[in-house]
Structure 1
Amino acid sequence: MTRLIPMLPVRSMPASVEFYRKLGFTVENRNDSWRWAMLCFGECRLMVDESINVHPQSPRTSVLYLYPDDVKQYHRQLRDHGLAVPDLETSFYDMTEFRFDDPDGNRLWIGQAAADGQQS
C-alpha cells in the first residue's frame, strides 16, 4: 500500500468543493455526472462523493485530522475566508488545535504539536 485517500459522503458535491476550497484545497479531478471530486492540498488528497451518501440525514462520525505547517496562520486564514472556526486550544495531548464540522457533519480537527512554538 502506498497511500490512503479518504472519501467522504456528502449531500452536495459542489457545496463541499466550495467549502474545502476555503480550507485551501484545489480540485484535482471532478466529474459532475458522477457527483464526485478529488481535491488536493499539497500532497494531501480527499474525495467527496454524493453517490455513496446513502443516508444523507445521518450524523457523520468520521474525523479528518489536518496538520498545517503553521496552525495559527492557517486558523487566521480560515477566518479570513469567512469560516466560523472556534478559538485555538492546547489539548491534553499537547497539540495546538481547533475542531469544527464540514457542511455534512464530518469532523475536522486541525492541529500542530504545541512544542513547535505554536501554543495559543
Structure 2
Amino acid sequence: MGQGDEMSCLVPELIVSDIEASLAFYRLLGFQVRYARPEERFAYLERGGAELMLEQPFSRDRLYPRAELDHPYGRGVNLTIEVEDVEQIYAAVLAAGCGLFLPLEERWYERAVDAVGVRQFAVQDPDGYLLRLSQHLGTRLR
C-alpha cells in the first residue's frame, strides 16, 4: 500500500510491553515505520502491503484490554506475513539470535482442487505474537 493515507481493511494492533524492543524486532523483519506517535508509545508499521500497529499502553488506556495482561501477550495469535525474500529474513533472524518457533521449511497446503506451496518459518516477537513469514512457491493440482 506504500506511504499513502489509506489503511488496509484489516490492521492488527498489537499490545506490546516495550515499544522500542518491538520496533527493533519488526525492523529486523523488514518493517518500516509509516508513522508514529512516540508520546503515545504508538507506531504504524508496513512491509510490502502487510500492515500492523504497535502500542505500549499507559495504564488503562481507552482501548486497553479489560483483563490483566500476562506475558506473553500473544498467546493464540498467529499472523502470516507474505514476503518475497524469506531466506534473507530467516538469515537475519538467525544472525540476531532470535529463537525460532518453526525452522525454515517448504510446505504444500491442500485446498479444494489444488495445493499451494510456501517456504516459511515462524518466530515469536518479544511479546509472544507468533509470526509466520511465508514466501509463495506456486500452486499445483491435486
Structure 1 residue runs of 5 or longer lacking an equivalent are none
Q: CA deviation at 1:91?
A: 3.1
Aligned partner of 2:90 in structure 1 is 75
Q: Paired residues, what number?
A: 116
Aligned partner of 2:103 in structure 1 is 87
Indicate how the Cα distance of structure 1 residues 26 and 58 shifts in structure 2: closer, same or farther if over 3 A, else same.
closer
Q: CA deviation at 1:35?
A: 1.3
Q: Computing the radius of gyration over CA atoms, which structure comes out larger, 1 or 2?
A: 2
> RMSD between aligned alpha carbons?
2.5
More strand per residue: 1 or 2? Answer: 2
- Please give the residue correspondences for 1:46-57 in structure 2 after superposition, counting only pairs within 5 Å: 46-51=52-57, 52=64, 55-57=69-71
**Percent of paired sites with the same residue:** 30
Aligned partner of 1:41 in structure 2 is 47
Distance 2:72 2:126 in 1: 13
Distance 1:28 1:102 in 2: 19
Distance 1:109 1:47 in 2: 17
Distance 2:73 2:8 in 1: 30
TM-score by length of 1: 0.78
Do the aligned residues in 1 keep the contact of 2:123 with 2:131 (CA within 8 Å)? yes
Structure 2 residue runs of 5 or longer lacking an equivalent are 1-6, 58-63, 110-116
